Amino acid sequence: MILGNVVAIAQTSMKRMLAYSSIGQAGFVIIGLVIGTEAGYASMVFYLLIYLFMNLGAFTCVILFSLRTGTDDINDYAGLYHKDPLLTLSLSLCLLSLGGIPPLAGFFGKLYLFWAGWQAGAYGLVLLGLLTSVVSIYYYIRVIKMMVVKEPQEMSVAIQNYPTIAWKSLGMRPLQVCLVLTVIATSLAGVLSNPVLNIVNSSVIDVPRFEQAALPTQPAIITPISGASSAP
């Protein structure tokens, strides 16, 4: 958590920033693995499920931007909102969800992980996770501010030369469809977090280890000692 989030702050490339961010996100997931409880495993599976859509959506946005501009430098995102509002909105939602901002899916994923860790007594891990989450929010918000807050005259050269958006382009269509689906899934997973978590809980309980733990303790059966005389 510390290594990934701290190193991500210093990155100037979006791909490298997301790569180091993934290291930090893996640290959050490990909390559920370390505590080893049913709630920990369930929250870990839930977070991995929503992380799939958050991260896939963010990388799809970065790939689309790179294909259209030929760069993935964070500074080149300045003023993107003025040329491509859909890409700006999609990337912003994915980054905010990765940062754990409510009511997006990432917030509930981290909430369940931290709560499971707190219940298991892993107070140090939970506090470390909260602190590193604040760090991650900083560099995610930095990118969003770069895209949205900049005035038109402050647009980067890459945005000034931004090509016309063509949804009918055959090569771009799979990426654009993937982007829309991942953003919808990231948004809906936050609203439907409780039903999804209930499904995950049920699947974790079905694991033989937890099935045996959930069974009531059977009374011990005492067998007669071989050769002992029987009572009349």
pLDDT the model gives residue 170: 54
- Take residue 159 and report the two structure tokens written for it: 């945005």
How distant, in Å, are the alpha carbons of 42, 46, 151, 214, 215 from that of 133? 20, 18, 29, 34, 38
**Which has the closest alpha carbon to 42: 195, 165, 200, 183?**
200
State the Cα–Cα distance between residues 1 and 84, nearest whole angstrom: 33
How many angstroms from the chain centroid is the CA of residue 108? 10
State the Cα–Cα distance between residues 114 and 131, nearest whole angstrom: 12
User: Who's near 176: CB < 8 A, 6+ residues apart?
Assistant: 64, 167
The answer to whether residue 10 scores a pLDDT higher than 50 is: yes
State the Cα–Cα distance between residues 136 and 100, nearest whole angstrom: 9
User: Who's near 175: CB < 8 A, 6+ residues apart?
Assistant: 60, 63, 64, 67
pLDDT the model gives residue 209: 60
DSSP for residue 40: H
pLDDT the model gives residue 103: 84
pLDDT the model gives residue 184: 84
pLDDT the model gives residue 166: 67
More confident residue, 153 or 213: 153
**Which has the closest alpha carbon to 185: 100, 94, 102?**
94
Give the pLDDT mean for 68-90.
Answer: 89
- Take residue 208 and report the two structure tokens written for it: 């033989």
Residue 49's Cβ-side half-sphere holds a number of Cα atoms within 13 Å equal to 21
Give the confidence band of 27 by pLDDT, cuts at 50, 70, 90. confident
User: Who's near 167: CB < 8 A, 6+ residues apart?
Assistant: 173, 176
Helix, strand or coil, per DSSP, at residue 227: coil
pTM of the model: 0.81
State the Cα–Cα distance between residues 17 and 5, nearest whole angstrom: 9
